[in-house]
Chains A and B, each alone.
Chain A
Amino acid sequence: VYNKRRIQERIRIQAVLVVLGLIGSSLVYGGCNRNSTDAVAISADPLVTTASAKPANTGDDIAYDSVRQIENSILIALDTDMSSGAAQSGEAIRRGVVLAVEKINAQGGLLGRPLELIVRDHRGNPDRGVDNILEISQMDDVVAVAGGLHTPVALRELEAIHEKELIYLVPWAAGTPIVDNGYSPNFVFRVSVRDEYAGGFLVRSAIDRNLTRIGLLLERTAWGRSNEKAMIVALDSHGLKPSAIEWFNWGETDLSDHLSRLTEAGSQAILFVGNPLEGSRIVGAMSQVSQEKRLPIISHWGITGGDFCGLCGKSLADVDLSFLQTHSFIAPRHPERAKKLFEAYAARFNDCKSQRDVPSPTGTSHAYEIVMMLATAVEHIGTIESKAVHDAMESLDSYHGIIRDYNPPFQPGHHDALTTDDFLLARYAEDGTIEPFEDPKSGDSKK
């Protein structure tokens, strides 16, 4: 009995000690946690793209490097939004560059040296973009910098690019002044949409559908203004004026007032220029009004740079939304070329099983196309010196790309490889795939 009691006593003491220990350790742990959180917060360097800045919406787990890994490599830099509202566009562009780099390296590299990709994340913020360009300009053996979706960033970077004499490849940003920038020599080369053309295409798309009272809804940035200009010109060529022009700020959460003003002005269609976040807000506002008052939205392609479908949710199905696209894996101009690229894509990135799964496909196609062009030019001239490469790019004869045949892609004073012929109108299928748009009333309109 005595032993039993002693054992019970001991067990009780041990239990108390264990409980005290647990409490103590949890306190210490909590304290450590707080400290470690602080430490993380302090050490997190917003200037450096780290693993934590990986795009959230790609499903691709391949890390990309922020510093040179390979000795003696030639660097190609990518400065784009990898983590903010248009992170999907950044990743699509990166994939295109990666596929091109890997193909080039597979063929023996660039000028016999390995080509290596360095990525910087500007998050759509021009201030970051400029800093990134300045940082890249400090690196050795940089053959070129590829930009991202955001026209405002690209525009702000122009000064640094030309000061540092960096070849600047534009696979997405469509602002007309990016290419028509007044610099000479002009280091900017673009395989993408040009707003000047896009304005005409979008206005024509509306008019084709007998929608002549057209309201403009534009983001209050340089890109918005670039489009305002193009669209007014395009409307004017049809003898039309915009029914209304509405501007919105980045970060504006409610666009319903803008919508009601456009509606009050008697608009039959809205031409929208903005990125996924604000695009989803006009779709949301549109879905809130009664069905007969809803207007077709014909959008610039900025909305495809992010997880637009995810941001819109169910409201997307309620809205007549079409938008500008160029190359499509589903309906390509040269299917055999597109197929080859897709095969390489699917082999490299395991989140895509079919062509329909490729996110922001134009970003990848454009990036691949322009990097391959660059490689051709560099191989042709045999150096990575900027001015020489600039000249080589301008003097490329003809180029058989995956999007089209270029004859030639660039010329002095003409740095836009694509034309209105390469544009098509697209829409989101129910599964979120971008597919060619067919107007339900197209028969009527063509008559």
Chain B
Amino acid sequence: MKAATNRARSLKAQILTRVAPVYILLMAIIIVFTGRHASNTVRDETQLRVDNSATNVANAAESKLNLVLEACKAIARNDVIVNGTIDLEYRNSISKPFMRSLRLPGSQNQTVAMCDYRGRIIAGSDQAPSHESANWLPSVMSGDHAISIDELRLTLAVPVQYAGRPEGLIVATYPIEEFFSGVFSPYLDKVIAFELQGNVVATSDPRLVSRSTPFPTLDGWLKGSANLASLPSVRVSVLESEFVALRAANTVTMALLMMGVVMALGGIAAVWMTTSLLATKPLMGILEQIERVRSSGDLSSRVVETGASEFQQLGNRLNSMLAELELSTVSKEHYRMAQQRLEIALSGGDIGLWDWDAETGEIYFSDIYKAQLGFSAGVDWSTFDDFESRLHPDDRELVNQAVASCMSNGSPDYEATFRMRNKEGDYLWMCAKGLAEFGSDGKLRRMVGVHVDVSDRVARAQSLVELNAELERRAEELEAANKLTRASEERLDVAVRGTSDGLWDWNTETNEMWYSPRFTELLGYDSRDRFPHVLDSFTDRLHPDDKEETWAAITRHLEEYAPFDAQYRLQTKSGEYRWFRARGAAIRDRHGKAVRMSGSIQDISQQKRDRLILEQSNQELEQFAYVSSHDLQEPLRKVASFCELLEKEYGDVLEGDGKQYLTFVTDGARRMQTLIRDLLTFSRIKSQGMPLHETSADDAFQAAVENLEGAIEESDATISCDELPRVWADDRQMTQLLQNLIGNAIKYRGSEKPVIHVGYTETKDRCEISVSDNGIGIAPEDHDRVFGIFKRLHGRTEYSGTGIGLAICKRIVDRWQGEIWVESSGGSGSTFYFTVRKIEMGVPDAKQNYTFAN
């Protein structure tokens, strides 16, 4: 390790040897490239500049040419010239002196002349040459201007035009050198020259570039050229010293070189420092840490690294390795301890151990296993045969099945009890339990388990078998019996769970009493509160005023078999009393003695309150109706009697309308009396009715018929009657009821003589009395309406009455909780039925009585 470190170079050295040469090489390439590029750029730029100055000179020459040309054109346009081409006398006297006096700009030695249409001089400088044979003449005479140049002269010609057509020429000539010299400015590092077809015709520096020679090529000078646009045969050349241009390029290259060296050194230094700071330092730190762990063996120490993420990862990985190492050291100790414990346990419990490798077929048998069969630890058992050969032949199948089921089901649990032969040849009962291990392919790989001698247990078990058989038989009987009970209990449970009732179960012999959680909950207790399952828990909470009544009801039920349905107040946890309705039934032995009683309670406080409020308002209403109708009677009677008196005394005095009005008043008062009387009757049914008592319906019928005697006689009605029973009712009201029904039958008779029958049938618990007639009948849709107060199906003129009779009937029947209804198809008679409790059924409604008792 150490040797390797020595052989390897340090990180910094490696970086320097590998990176630095490449870096320096790159820098060198960049510098050389950039330097050359800069040099080229400078050279190009300089060349461009030289070209530009050539172009500028060319432009200046061009401008000068144009100036002269424009001047010539201006002269040509002059009518002194135009007229001079036409008129000879004018030409001689005017045009010629004019032309001679003309001076054009640009040179002292210029000439300007006026020519005829064939280029012959007709006026102008004496020294002006003829242009008859000039090659530009046709072009000028077709209207263009011409600029021509030869070794000596520059010639500019423009046409003189009349009526848009050239009729003569103005021609200017310049000595060529003189013309172009005017364009030069003095330059120190430049030479400008004009070339005509390769020969220099004008130069700014005759020492360097001589006239009438081809333009020289000079070393160390940059040359730029440009041709004159209007005189393409003339080329402007500019020479500029190359040294001036390249001086700049060299400066740039030197600067780049210096910069490059600085950057190279700086870069290497930066790499050196960065490597030291970011790599070498944290690495050394980690190395030190490892060394510390190695020397001290303290696995709990950890590397603390805050450098680059890679080094942090390295540190973290090292830490986690240390942690794993630490953990495995601890668990080794645990394993040893566990092994020890297991050995002690196994030997203490005399438990053998086996381990079957299903793939190789080898089995490990523990020493205890061997000892169980009387063998010493030294005996060499390692195959399945070693096991199977000692197995009782009868149990082989069993063991194989257990193993096979384990294999086929893929379930890890193996259990079998079998007999094994010991060293002495006796068979012992052994119980083997094991766990199977399956490979990922589902095949059994290994099975490990324990082996216990259960011979004693087997012997004990056999004696128990018989006992068990007996027990089982009995259990079955019990089960059958229980099943029935369970079923009913379940049903109740389901039913009760649907309601909000609380349940109770009272053992009348022990006075133990079970209360359902809902029961206690209704009293405001929750499951944490103490609520002992004894009768006192109930009685203590019963309202003192209700105790007597409640016990009476219970007693009635237990002794007289009356249904138990009582209402009482119980004190809740908060101390207030709430109304409950309790219903229940006793379970009796074969002698009819109650042994248990169970039932439910229901919170009816809200109903109770609602009913009280309703009864109060009803009472008040009835009181009001009664009082008001009672008090109305007196003044009304006064009105009626005085009306009768008025009719009697003054009936003859009044005439026509007055008499009729009086009749209306009397009639109205009488009807109101009837109405109030009926209302009083209606309200008295409840307020002044007698408590229900045993009444003879027959007597009531007789009384009714007597009361209706007049009407019966008048209508010649036939009334028949079955024998009526005795019933629970108020005799006066019964009479009223029958009287109203029979009266209606007479009143709503048809065209025939009324035939009325009062019938009677009996059901299990009530009597059904009917009054049938052959009257006009009632349409089915009106069957319910007829019982409403003030409900009349017919006009008052058709049938008299207040419409209250049947309402009174319904109220009377309601009072004893009977029913009243009518059956009629309409038009063919009707039958009214009402029911009333039979005497055997007792007072119809205890509560009703109780209420009235209040």
Contacts and interface: CB of A to CB of B under 8 A. Distances in A.
A26 interface: no
Given A44-B138, A84-B162, A252-B79, A123 B86 contact: no
A232 to B, nearest CB: 18
Contacts of A156: 88
Given A220-B83, A251-B79, A251-B83, A85 B162 contact: yes
B90 A221 contact: yes
Interface in A9-59: 38, 40-47
Interface stretch (B163-171, B185-193, B751-759): B163-171
A124 B165 CA distance: 11
Contacts of B122: 127
A370 to B, nearest CB: 25
Nearest to A38: B139
A152 interface: yes
Contacts of B90: 220-221, 249
Contact of A83 (B79, B118, B139, B165): B165
B138 A250 contact: no
A131 interface: yes
B163 A249 contact: no
Q: Which of A42, A43, A46 has the most CB of B within 10 A?
A: A46
A252 B163 CA distance: 11
Contact of B86 (A43, A45, A47, A221): A221
A159 to B, nearest CB: 11
Nearest to A53: B165
A128 interface: yes
B582 to A, nearest CB: 91
A128 B122 CA distance: 13
A277 interface: yes
A424 interface: no
Interface in A179-222: 220-222
B51 interface: no
Contacts of B82: 249-251
Q: Which of B77, B79, B117, B165 has the most CB of A within 10 A?
A: B165
Given A46-B117, A222-B87, A125 B138 contact: no
Q: Which of B78, B86, B87 has the most CB of A within 10 A?
A: B86
Nearest to A126: B86
A44 B141 CA distance: 8
Given A221-B87, A249-B79, A45 B163 contact: no
B146 to A, nearest CB: 10
Nearest to A155: B88
Contacts of A41: 138-139, 142, 144
Interface in B65-118: 77-83, 85-90, 116-118
B83 A249 contact: yes
Interface in A266-301: 277
A125 B89 CA distance: 14
Given A125-B85, A222-B87, A250-B86, A85 B163 contact: yes
B165 A123 contact: yes
Given A221-B86, A251-B79, A46 B162 contact: no
Contacts of B141: 44, 46
A220 B88 CA distance: 10
B228 to A, nearest CB: 17
Interface string A110-136: 000000000000011111100100000
Nearest to A225: B89
Contacts of A225: 89
A177 to B, nearest CB: 12
A130 to B, nearest CB: 10
A47 B85 CA distance: 16
A221 B87 CA distance: 5
Contacts of A253: 79
B83 A123 contact: no
Contacts of B81: 251
A341 to B, nearest CB: 30
Task: Report the interface size class on chain B.
Answer: 20 to 34
B86 A44 contact: no
A128 B117 CA distance: 7
Contact of B83 (A42, A45, A47, A250): A250
A83 B117 CA distance: 15
B163 A46 contact: no
A253 B162 CA distance: 11
B145 to A, nearest CB: 11
B135 to A, nearest CB: 8
A40 B138 CA distance: 10
A123 B167 CA distance: 8
A46 B160 CA distance: 14
B116 A127 contact: yes
Nearest to B83: A249
Contacts of A47: 118
A125 B167 contact: yes
Contacts of A43: 138
B733 to A, nearest CB: 106
Nearest to A123: B165
Contacts of A125: 85-86, 117, 162, 167-168
A84 B165 contact: yes
B668 to A, nearest CB: 108
Contact of A127 (B118, B138, B165): B118
Nearest to A44: B142
A197 to B, nearest CB: 23
Nearest to A86: B163
Contact of B162 (A40, A45, A131, A251): A251
Contact of B142 (A46, A127, A152, A252): A46
Given A127-B116, A127-B118, A277 B139 contact: no
A40 B86 CA distance: 27
B116 to A, nearest CB: 4
Given A41-B142, A84-B163, A152 B87 contact: yes
Contacts of A249: 79-80, 82-83, 90
Nearest to A84: B163
Contacts of A131: 118
Contacts of A83: 165
A250 B166 contact: no
A84 B141 CA distance: 14
A46 B80 CA distance: 23
Nearest to B165: A84
B89 A222 contact: yes
Nearest to B159: A46
B696 to A, nearest CB: 114
Nearest to A253: B79
B460 to A, nearest CB: 91
Interface string B108-151: 00000000111010100000000000000011011010000000
A397 to B, nearest CB: 39
B170 to A, nearest CB: 13
Given A84-B163, A127-B117, A220 B142 contact: no
A222 B88 CA distance: 8
Contacts of A251: 77-79, 81-83, 162
A421 to B, nearest CB: 32
B347 to A, nearest CB: 84
B117 A124 contact: no
A124 B162 contact: yes
B83 A221 contact: yes
Contacts of A277: 163
Contacts of B116: 127
Contacts of A126: 86-88
B159 to A, nearest CB: 10
B161 to A, nearest CB: 8
A37 B554 CA distance: 145
B168 to A, nearest CB: 8
Q: Which 5 A-B pairs rank lowest in CB-CB distance, beginning with the nearest?
A: A251-B82, A249-B83, A251-B79, A249-B79, A85-B163
5 contacts: A38-B139, A128-B117, A152-B86, A249-B79, A251-B79
Given A84-B163, A127-B117, 12 more contacts: A42-B138, A45-B138, A124-B162, A125-B162, A125-B167, A125-B168, A127-B118, A220-B83, A225-B89, A250-B87, A251-B77, A277-B163
